[in-house]
């Protein structure tokens, strides 16, 4: 069994990495091997092993097999901005062939591969292409992360519409409470459940130091065709 999914969000900073970690932790707890893949990352920090992206580091930490950082994140851009701007600043390009080779390699490592995007669905990686173009090329089923806040309904509807218009399936979505003060939280989630037309995989509450926690209990992986081994 080899399953691969692409995680996108309604915007940047809506919790794609948090949701990806939660899904990977739930898959691992169910007894499957799992690997994370961050094909394009914009924004790096210096580590003792060289520059790395913090989100890719988190995905690697949740990976249950031995992989090098470069296998998790083949295209690292150092400026924390839109990938197409970062690539231009660094006089480089995001190479879809490189991303595809990396995906095929990492898919051989585990039962389950979770691919995390950058920014929202239409994030540009050049002036003429978006990361969604590559996802469509790879025909990856999509998991949508909705950061629950004022305005997220519009963003969620538009993102779901764009994904489906691109010919891809939304296999599930995750509600991530990015703002504890958001009013009408339960009504917003109820509205999304009614309109998104895909199973809700879970709701992740707002909490401090969330990226250092075990979030597996907030995710139901059964809609992804997985049950405990």
123 part of a folded domain: yes
Annotated binding site: 13-18, 55, 116-119, 176-177
pLDDT averaged per 10 residues in sequence order, the chain, 229 residues: 92 96 98 98 95 97 98 97 97 98 97 97 97 98 97 98 98 96 96 98 94 95 89
CB distance 171 to 224 below 8 Å: yes
pLDDT of residue 84: 97
**Counted domains in the chain:** 1
pTM over cut 0.95: yes
Q: Which residues belong to the annotated binding site for Mg(2+)? A: 17, 55, 116
229: in domain: no
Identify the domain containing residue 140 by its residue range.
Answer: 3-223
Q: Is residue 16 part of a domain?
A: yes
Please say if 38 is a catalytic residue: yes
- CATH at 64: 3.40.50.300
Contact 96, 137 (CB under 8 A): yes
Residues flagged as binding site for ATP: 13-18, 55, 116-119, 176-177
From the list 38, 104, 109, 149, the catalytic residue is: 38
Q: Please tell me the predicted confidence (pLDDT) of residue 1.
A: 58
Q: Is residue 183 part of a domain?
A: yes
228 located within any domain:
no
**Residue 227: predicted pLDDT:** 84
């Amino acid at each position: 069994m080899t399953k691969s999914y692409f995680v996108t969000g309604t915007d940047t900073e809506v919790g794609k990495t948090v949701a990806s970690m939660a899904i990977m932790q739930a898959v691992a707890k169910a007894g499957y091997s799992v690997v994370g893949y961050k094909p394009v990352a914009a924004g790096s920090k210096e580590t003792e092993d060289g520059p790395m992206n913090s989100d890719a580091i988190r995905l690697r930490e949740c990976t249950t097999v031995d992989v090098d950082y470069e296998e998790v994140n083949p295209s690292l851009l150092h400026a924390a901005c839109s990938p197409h701007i970062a690539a231009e600043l660094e006089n480089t390009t995001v190479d879809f062939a490189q991303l595809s080779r990396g995906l095929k390699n990492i898919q051989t490592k585990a039962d389950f591969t979770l691919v995390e995007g950058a920014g929202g669905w239409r994030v540009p990686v050049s002036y003429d292409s978006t990361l969604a173009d590559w996802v469509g090329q790879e025909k990856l089923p999509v998991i949508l992360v909705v950061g629950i806040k004022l305005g997220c309904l519009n963003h969620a509807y538009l993102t779901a519409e764009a994904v489906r218009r691109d010919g891809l399936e939304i296999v599930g979505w995750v509600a991530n409470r990015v703002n504890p003060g958001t009013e009408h939280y339960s009504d917003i989630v109820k509205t999304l459940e009614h309109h998104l037309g895909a199973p809700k995989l879970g709701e992740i509450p707002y909490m401090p130091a969330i990226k250092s926690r075990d979030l597996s209990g907030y995710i139901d992986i059964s809609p992804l065709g997985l049950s405990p081994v």
